[in-house]
Structure formats: structure tokens, C-alpha cells
Structure 1
Amino acid sequence: MSGRPYAGSSDLRTLQDFNAAMWQAHGGVGWMHVGDIPHRIYNALGRRGFHPSEVVRIWETNGVVAGWAMIWPRSGGIEVQVPPDSPQLAVEAGLWACEAVVAVGEQHGHHAKSIVMDVVESEPNMVDLATGIGMAVDQREGSYIVTRQAIDRPPQVHLPRSYSVRAARGVGDAAALAGVHSSAFNSDWTAESYARVMESPGYEPSREIVVVAPDGSFAGFCIIWMDHENHIGMFEPVGVHADHRRRGVGMALMAAGLSRLSEHGMVHAMVTHETDDPASTALYAAAGFLPWYRYVAWSKAL
């Protein structure tokens, strides 16, 4: 078995196929959705200047993926995607991640004070890995709830008068998308940086749904992702512009997204949110999502 860095867009499909197979074999808990892989590599990490080869490492046996890991150098976060029957590989991947997240972070001018991994405590292999690389539960860090629903009858889309919903149309929408993303999450997107995301592997404008305000600006957005092997869709991210909150925009996005997921053969949908975020909790519950499992932060000081 040997490890190597992520080598390009062909590896995206390789990792997606691996995770879809692991999801099918192990039930999905703790496994990254196939849509989260490009979202994290090219959106969350890419826009901060991290090259995929710096933050993703793949382990293979005779050319077949055995597991992989991802690092978050700004925050000290690590993620390990290794099947439960490969505990030695999990520790190897975890130790690589612990070293790499510090080294890459320092190369980019970031100096995390601890290494953090989100753990599903109902999964013994994840607890064993965290313990094996010297971590313990960190009460200072937040937790995340993964919610899920069966898509039976997608809700109707209801919007205020003169608002409409549609799919993004390509990089021509990049400036408007940068504006709504930045407002929703208090971030620093520009038209140029969001255009790069739209041109990255895995992104399709047709899967970014927007609510258009009467003045033509974007009032909200969501991106839907589809695992066609396991028939489960995912919302990531979902956001509403600060000027258009409490008008039903978020619910309209969820309804439109669920409808499109159903049209494409998805049987279930999932969305993850911070445990202590009351707005997200209320929105997703109202849209029919129920708690599935929870991630708890484990860490070790540097």
C-alpha cells in the first residue's frame, strides 16, 4: 500500500466512487457525501489558496483506493475516510493529516493552536482513531447535526410577490452569487473568486438554485448534490441574503431543491448544520428533515 497526493480532476471521480461504495457498504454514517468532496476541495479550501495536492492524500493498494484524508490548514482540522476494517491505515492517514495540517498551515502563514477532528461517537472506529492519534473530546468546539429525510412529496414553493426561483446560468451570474454568498455567511467572495468555483471540477450551474428578488439581485441560494448510487441528495451550502430574511426565501429554496432532487431519482436528502444554530435548526425541521447523527469535536493541543 502506498500514499500519494491528489493528482487532478480525475481523482475527484475516483474519490467519489470510493465514498459511494463505502456509503453503500457501511450505511453512510461518518462518510462524506460525494458532493461534499468537490465542495470542500474547490470551494471551501480552494478559495483560500490551497492546492488540492496540498490538502488531500490518497492511499491505494494495486491502484485501488483504500482510503484518503483531507486537511484544513487554517483551522487545524483533519478528516479521514478509511473503512472500519482498516484501523492501521486509519491511524497512518490520521498521523499524516496531523503532520501535514501543521506544515501546510505554516507554509501559508497559519498557526493553528490545536488539531481538530469531528467524530461520530456512535462509530467505534472513529473513536478508536481519534484516541489512537492522541485526541480527546473538546467541549470548547461546536458540534454538528446531520439531518435526513425521505423525499415523498416535495413541498410547494411559496415566494413573496415578484420573487422567483431559477437555476444559476453560468459565470454570468458569478457577481450576483458572490454577493449573496458573502451576505449570507459574512464572507469575502468576489465575482472572480466565485467564477473560479463555477469552473472547477464537480460544479454544475444547474444545481445551484437561486431566489431572484424584485430588483434582479439574488435573495438566496442553495447548491444540491446527488449520489446516484445511493439515491441520496445533499444541500450544501444554503444561504439567504441578510436583506431578505424572514420572507420565506429559505423554505422556498429547500422546496425547490427537494423537488429537483426527486426529479433526478433521489430517494433521500440530507443537510448538516451546527447544533447551536437555531435558525438552521428551525428551517430544516420545517422542511421535513430529522436528526440522523451528530459529529462531536475531538482535538489535541499543538
Structure 2
Amino acid sequence: MQGLAQEVTALRPELLNGDATVGELAWVWAKDFDVLGRFWRHRLWFADGRLAAWGWVHLPHRIPRGDGAVIEVGTANLIWQTHPERAALLGDILDWYDEVARNVDRLLTVQSADVEAQRTVAAHGYAFDAEAGSDDGSWVQFNTRELTDVPDPVLPEGFRFVTANDVPPTDAVRAHRDAWHASRFTEAAFERVRRTWPYRTDLHVLVAARDGTLAATAIIWLDEATQTAEFEPVGTHRDFRRRGLGTALQLHGMQLAKAGGARRMLVACRGAPADPAARNMYYGVGFRPISRDLPQVKVAR
């Protein structure tokens, strides 16, 4: 699946779907496998001995959240990818999705740049999800930046850059949970992340405050084959926001990625105008959008 992501990244990065990049696949698979693995279904399609498409279905589930509450998901969700030269296989993926999801509502996303996929999902009974895709919806946009010119980062006094090599795994997990309230990220999940290609501890970058608190965190997934790197996730401790730490961390991370051979950087973020903070931060360090999610829904009969 990551190999197909590499091919799409090299050929048509604007067609990368949802969690289908090299870094997103590594992150989502590793951090959620222990909790959500039993609710996942996968299928691969091959052509001439090469992977041409895949589908990954998340079935309805009910799981505890980190703060003691319960997350209950009553819909199915499809992550998918086809090779640009095998776009017609999306129809086969959707037929399989119908079989797997059965009598529940089905969700998926297509990219704004993927006109053929938009026609295919419409022909299979999907419609634009006006709520999820609204100006205050949960849709995501995909951004890119060439790494030809990366300014030097500037941290406020008393803060410094560190990597996952410099801190215990428990502290790296706490940094993530401090940035993402109610996250269920655990040390066991982090250990799986650490074992998943292309994770590197020297590209897991953090900002430490004077008192040792890890105030911001980001993982950089470097794919040397495509000379592409991706941020996922990026977050700042809720007590340290609006101090420029996220901006400095991204510039520092991009310099590290460039030194490691990357020529461009990718990052996804929420794109809804009602919540522009993350998007504006990425724009501020030179990212530009190349596509956005168009959420789709098919109501079960």
C-alpha cells in the first residue's frame, strides 16, 4: 500500500486520497492497530503482477476514549487508492465496499482534483456530504511546499529543539496527548509507530520548554525514493499555543527533511474556513493547497 502511495506521489500527488500517503498509512496503521484492527477490512487489486489499487474499510465500532468517554461510530468509512493509470478499479473497490459494509451508511472521500473519481462515486449512488463538507465541516485539504528555500526557525527564549532520541518514549507519548486532548495514544501504540517504516527517531522533532515540558511535537515521514517528506501529526501543548512554536518546529523539521534528501514537503490539515488556525500556520511557512477532500455519503437502503 505504501509502494502504491509512492507511485501516486511521484506521478499525481493531488490524487492521493485521505489517509493514503506513505506517512499517513504508517501513522494510522501503527497507532490504531491494537484498538481498531478488528474493525478493519482490506483488499488489494493487482494488474500485471503489480499492486494497482487497494481498499481499507473501517467498520462501525464502539471504543473507550482516553478521557473515559466512549466513541461510538455507526457508519462505515472507506480509505482507498488507485494507480492513476488504473482509475477504473475504483468501481471494483466500491462494489467490494458495498459487500463489506452491508446495511450501514457508507462514507468516503474523493479529491477535488480527481474528476474521474467524482463521476465514479456518483454513478455508484454517493452524494456530496453537505454537512461534513461545509464551511465548518471536518474536511481536510492537502498542501505541499518545495524545499528550495527554508528560513531559519526562531524559538522564543527558554525553548529548544529536541528529538525522540533525547526523551523517554513516555514523554513523547505525553507530548502527543498534551497536544491532542482526549487522544488514546499509548506507549504500546508508540512502540508500533517506532517499528513502522519510515519512522525515524531523529525526524520525530519536539520543542522543550525551560522546565522540561515538551511544548510541541511533530513526526516527519521521509521517503527517500520520491524525495518527499510529510508532517503527521503536528501539535502544540494547549498551554503553549500562540507563541510561534508550531511555526518554528515546522521550519526546523523542513530543514531536517531537506538535509535528509527531501525536495518537497507534504502536510494535510483541516480546511474549513470556520477553523483556519492550522491552515494559516501552514500558509505562513510557505505551504499551498493542491487538493481538498470532497466527503461523500451513501445512505443504506
TM-score higher than 0.5 here? yes
Q: Structure 1 residues 48, 161: CA separation in 2 closer, same or farther (over 3 Å shift)?
A: same
CA–CA separation in structure 2 for the residues paired with 1:87 and 1:259 = 35
Q: What's 2:15 paired with?
A: 30
1:74-85 aligned at under 5 Å gives the runs 74=60, 75=73, 76-85=76-85
Instruction: Work out the number of aligned pairs and report it.
Output: 275
CA–CA separation in structure 2 for the residues paired with 1:259 and 1:127 = 37
More helix by share: 1
Q: What's 2:70 paired with?
A: none
Are the counterparts in 1 of residues 125 and 298 from structure 2 also a CA contact under 8 Å?
A: yes
Percent identity between the two aligned chains: 23
SS for the counterpart of 2:13 is: coil
Q: Structure 1 residues 226, 193: CA separation in 2 closer, same or farther (over 3 Å shift)?
A: closer
Within the candidate set 272, 277, 280, 2:278 is matched to: 280
CA-to-aligned-CA distance 1:237-259 (integer Å, 9 cap, x gap) = 10001111112210111011110
Q: Structure 1 residues 256, 248: CA separation in 2 closer, same or farther (over 3 Å shift)?
A: same
CA-to-aligned-CA distance 1:47-96 (integer Å, 9 cap, x gap) = 533159x4332122454212111123355221221134435422111222
Q: What's 1:131 paired with?
A: 122
Q: What's 2:69 paired with?
A: none
CA–CA separation in structure 1 for the residues paired with 2:289 and 2:185 = 31
**Which has the higher mean CA deviation after the structures are superposed, 56-65 or 137-146?**
56-65
Are the counterparts in 1 of residues 112 and 291 from structure 2 also a CA contact under 8 Å?
A: no
Q: Which runs of 5+ in 2 are unaligned?
A: 61-72
1:208-227 aligned at under 5 Å gives the runs 208-227=204-223
1:121 maps to 2:112: yes
Are the counterparts in 2 of residues 33 and 227 from structure 1 also a CA contact under 8 Å?
A: no
- Structure 1 runs (4+) deviating above 6 angstroms are none
SS for the counterpart of 1:244 is: coil
CA-to-aligned-CA distance 1:173-216 (integer Å, 9 cap, x gap) = 22212222122221132333323332345432222111112222
RMSD of aligned residue pairs (Cα, Å): 2.3
Q: Structure 1 residues 290, 17: CA separation in 2 closer, same or farther (over 3 Å shift)?
A: same
1:180 maps to 2:175: yes
Q: What's 1:231 paired with?
A: 227
Are the counterparts in 2 of residues 91 and 129 from structure 1 also a CA contact under 8 Å?
A: yes
Q: What's 1:42 paired with?
A: 30
CA–CA separation in structure 2 for the residues paired with 1:18 and 1:178 = 30
1:1-302 aligned at under 5 Å gives the runs 15-25=1-11, 27-31=12-16, 32-43=20-31, 45-50=32-37, 54-61=40-47, 63-74=49-60, 75=73, 76-100=76-100, 102=101, 114-141=105-132, 142=137, 143-169=139-165, 173-186=168-181, 187-276=183-272, 277-302=275-300
Are the counterparts in 1 of residues 15 and 113 from structure 2 also a CA contact under 8 Å?
A: no
- What code does the residue aligned with 2:153 have? V
CA–CA separation in structure 2 for the residues paired with 1:97 and 1:183 = 36
How far is 1:279 from its partner? 1.3
- What code does the residue aligned with 1:50 have? G
- What code does the residue aligned with 1:205 have? T
Are the counterparts in 1 of residues 198 and 221 from structure 2 also a CA contact under 8 Å?
A: no
Q: Which runs of 5+ in 1 are unaligned?
A: 1-14, 104-111
Q: Structure 1 residues 261, 222: CA separation in 2 closer, same or farther (over 3 Å shift)?
A: same
